[in-house]
Structure 1
Amino acid sequence: MNYVLFALVAVGLVTTAFSRSDGDVPPPPPGVERPQYKITVTQNGKTLGSMIIELFPDVAPKHVANFDSLVSIGFYNGTAFHRVIPGFMIQGGDPNSKTKPREQWGFGDPSQKRIPAEFSKIAHRRGIISAARTADPNSATSQFFICVADAPWLDGQYSVFGRVLQGMDVADRIAEVERDQRDNPIDKVEMTIVKLSGKERIPTKK
């Protein structure tokens, strides 16, 4: 099945006036370090920029563990941000987008491990990262989306598991690339993701 945002997906046409980052994100519990990753984005061989993201193992441990394990094996490298909607979100992480025809992007691999829903009270505000899924709340796999605007109609229906700490201008740039009628970028927007450690990490916003 196609991994899209089933909760009023047409509302991608609806924008909000808000520009706040991260919604109601609580600080991590004592002793919990939230992992950080760098997403480098390219199009037509040119670098569009990088985003530094932080994940929430204290909020969505299964989704974070899944993402981390996929990053560790280079799973996301070469996958695309295959669906972009200005004023709403950018979605990526489908293995089909590596080498399969564009028509199959977004449908995912049926053999992928399914992650059960981990809904929270964190709002889908600009900069929030959440898990894409089918109509089944417990069907998330590798695909994720980054909100480029507040999307309150998604709250409590999708599993928030992280936020962008740095580089939202890159997400905005991706959202504005030329796209087809399926909201696929005309020219593939590829990502590479690496985990940060030590001095590579940036201070976490509270």
Structure 2
Amino acid sequence: MPTRRVLYIEDNPEIGRWVKADLERRGYAVQWLMSGEDADREVARHDVVILDIMLPGLDGFTVGQRLKKAAPAVPILLLSARGAVEDKLLGLQFADDYVTKPFHPDELAARVEVLLRRSGAGPSEPIKLGQRFAVDLAGHTVLDEVTGEEVELTAKQYQILACFLRNPNRILTKDQIFEAVWGEPYIEGDKTLMVHIRHLRMKLECDPSDPEIIETVRGIGYRVRL
């Protein structure tokens, strides 16, 4: 089974070391950050986020909202010593679960497992893409089977590709892709998606000007055939 990846954001060194060690003992791969400043660049490569609310700089509520916007499909579990109903309600506007401190490591692990089951993160066979690529949706990796090297994608490029692969052979409109990846409506004339698609083709297509993997369906949107 592919190792599930946890993005853990906690500024307390003692708690951070303890939680990281416990999760790794249970078989998770844990990336521990002590602030949320750059977390939105990392979130798409993980299966679940554990986020402390009391952080230096940006607070956990702000960080969590940014992470959910950057990767809507990745569940977020909030940790906080603040158990007031108002705090929980505020957090659960974007988070998927809320655990108050102090907590038992077995409870935290059980909550993480529930979120992973809900999100569908788990074992899966790599998906063949074109003649040379294999995509591991659970592991968030794209492998060039000719060179044996991983294809480096940005978070948004990976999210767009994953959106296609979860809807194989289906034509997706710009509105559908934008809603799934950015979590907001597409605005007619916005070139953002087109730019990301062009960059994806440069990394995955033999001839980006004549794509065979990511097809443009004129007047509708895009499709990936498998």
**TM-score, L = length of structure 1:** 0.25
Structure of greater Rg: 2
Q: Which structure ranks higher in relative contact order (CA pairs < 8 Å, sequence separation ≥ 6)? A: 1
Q: TM-score, normalised by structure 2?
A: 0.23
